[in-house]
A and B are shown apart, each in its own frame.
Chain A
């Protein structure tokens, strides 16, 4: 058995050597240790984020139509040019933007109201907070199906409500609607379902923000002479900005990716396709992975741009 190279130097030399090995990690600006600690996270991000995104971008430069079989062909920016000349793409983008622009502020308003309600000091508010979780916990496609029934022309609760109002107030001249006949009315149903589903998520984030506002600020404002409305505008809202921004970023990103609710609702078909639905159509139904990837890159760019705008605003606020 070979002798240890420290055998002739004694146990002290062994300890000194070990110490040096540790110091090599720790002392030179602790860089090595720092890298060693973040390495697992870097590897994870490379596997689950960097690789798929890179692959997506690479695929978007190829003609990969699986219906035609292999080999694939490099076509440069042709998929992007095709998308920019594709009226279906522009319609899907428009629908996506409409859903985003309507449902994000809508969910924010409803979520803010729900959060304020859940933050009121009343007995059993734990139940209300639990109830807030329910819409969030439901699967999106399930919500789409529920609201398809709500807006059903014959049996739907919405038309039932309209009929009752019409009976009570005939002067309003309200009539039940065939909601899924026209694109604009179907869009109303999609937006209502989306707001109902997503406002609870907004409420939860805003509620967490509300709970960080010290009660003494309201008491100080009360002593200062602020009404409840002034307290809301001058204290609650400004202090909620960070929470609202986080909620807005998440909500906007998911709105840009809207798929399940519009997909699971009946309606005028392609008329109300969102960007995510159009990507699914091309990649899954038409097996055109190259074109689908180019469309997905557009969606990715849209998400990144939105996030960038929000983050710039946050940085501006902090400064």
Chain B
């Protein structure tokens, strides 16, 4: 196992800075996921940890040792690539054994390690095949096997599931999680898929434009997002945002949506907390599952809305609503789904809303 520490890590291509002084600590045995939209720098950061990209400034430590100028082979890492990067002319056995042969391990040890890794990944029957004779999922397993046999301190995964179809992806996701639970090695996993990030990670690192936006557990990221960006990036469908203003009142706090025609009264428990932000223009955020067709909690507030689109998904139904201040998507049980065009009252769980500063996008949290 290894601890990874990044200190002011910067990457510049010519005059363009793509990673802006990142500080991050990844703990022993942790499964950390770098997530963010395309071009946010997540893969670049991973490749810098791997040693496949030089860092422009800063310091990378693996287990306390500065590895800035160490070649990848000396960093005690293993990496699974997006396109698997299996050697097409070598058999699965030779793909797995390649790094061990380079280390000049005895033949018996190589055989033993390869068979053990193949056993873990259930690919023993594929050892004589060439990669071209394997399915996408099997190639993925071989790529993981190649990482396992090296017995590295640190596993790096660069969007390893993005070439698989949805069904296989969820299967392999579970496999990777099981593998981590079994091996327990520090793992850094890069993905643009927030579902992968939420399901796999012990800690998620959300990146945008070469900066870390938030580091936290999946629960933190989902329920306590640090910014509108993080809130909007997680969840499927993502959080609803409506422009709003906080109105001061002697008895309670009201959130005026849009032009002020719709008012939401904040629960007393939260009213006090947000009172300091009175009269500020904000973004009101609410997750689709915190909207309902009927009153569920004591602090729910109703809002008149018209149903624009209804999308039945089987286990749940998504309804797009027009509520004056803007559109919102709500997640409903299938038996409660309204019809398109219907005028309804949608209940907002006022214990679960989020407020973000209109200008900076950062979350408004009162002490």
- A binding-site residues for B, Cβ under 8 Å: 214, 216-217, 219-226, 230, 234-235, 238-239
Contacts and interface: CB of A to CB of B under 8 A. Distances in A.
27 contacts: A216-B81, A216-B82, A216-B85, A217-B85, A219-B52, A219-B79, A219-B85, A220-B81, A220-B85, A220-B86, A221-B98, A222-B51, A223-B52, A223-B73, A223-B78, A223-B99, A224-B99, A225-B73, A225-B99, A225-B102, A226-B73, A226-B98, A226-B102, A230-B102, A234-B87, A234-B98, A238-B89
Nearest to A215: B85
B50 interface: yes
A224 B73 contact: yes
B87 to A, nearest CB: 6
A223 B77 contact: yes
B152 to A, nearest CB: 9
A222 B71 CA distance: 8
Instruction: Report the contact-size class of chain B (Cβ under 8 Å from the partner).
Output: 20 to 34
Given A216-B83, A230-B102, A234-B98, A222 B52 contact: yes
B103 interface: yes
A238 B95 CA distance: 14
A224 B88 contact: no
Interface string B84-96: 0111110000000
B89 A223 contact: no
Contact of A223 (B79, B83, B87, B88): B79
Nearest to B75: A223
A305 B52 CA distance: 47
Q: In this complex, which of A217, A225, A226 has the most chain B Cβ atoms within 10 angstroms of its Cβ?
A: A225
A70 B138 CA distance: 73
A219 B81 CA distance: 9
Given A239-B88, A239-B89, A220 B102 contact: no
Given A216-B85, A220-B81, A223-B72, 20 more contacts: A214-B83, A214-B85, A220-B85, A220-B87, A222-B51, A222-B72, A223-B52, A223-B78, A223-B99, A224-B73, A224-B98, A224-B99, A224-B146, A225-B73, A225-B99, A225-B102, A226-B73, A226-B102, A234-B87, A239-B89
Interface of A is mostly: helix
Interface of B is mostly: loop
Contacts of B82: 216
A234 B97 CA distance: 13
Contact of B102 (A217, A219, A224, A239): A224
A238 B88 CA distance: 10
Contacts of B50: 223
Contacts, number: 54
Contacts of B77: 223
A41 to B, nearest CB: 30
A141 B167 CA distance: 63
A224 B71 CA distance: 11
Contacts of A235: 87
B110 to A, nearest CB: 13
B218 to A, nearest CB: 28
Contacts of A221: 87, 98
A212 to B, nearest CB: 11
Q: What 8 pairs between A and B have smallest CB-CB spacing? A: A225-B73, A224-B99, A220-B85, A216-B85, A238-B89, A225-B102, A223-B72, A216-B81
A234 B94 CA distance: 11
Contacts of A239: 88-89
A266 to B, nearest CB: 47
Contacts of B98: 221, 224, 226, 234
Interface string B31-61: 0000000000000000000111000000000
Nearest to B94: A234
Interface string B138-149: 000000001000
A230 B99 CA distance: 11
A224 B151 CA distance: 11
Nearest to B81: A216
A224 B82 CA distance: 16
A124 to B, nearest CB: 16
Nearest to B149: A224
Contact of B103 (A217, A219, A222, A225): A225
A235 B146 CA distance: 16
A203 to B, nearest CB: 22
Nearest to A237: B89
B239 to A, nearest CB: 36
Interface in B146-167: 146, 150
A107 to B, nearest CB: 24
A239 B79 CA distance: 22
A240 to B, nearest CB: 10
A216 B77 CA distance: 16
A217 B78 CA distance: 14
B211 to A, nearest CB: 26
Contacts of A238: 89
B46 to A, nearest CB: 12
Nearest to B99: A224
B214 to A, nearest CB: 29
Contacts of B71: 222
A92 B81 CA distance: 56
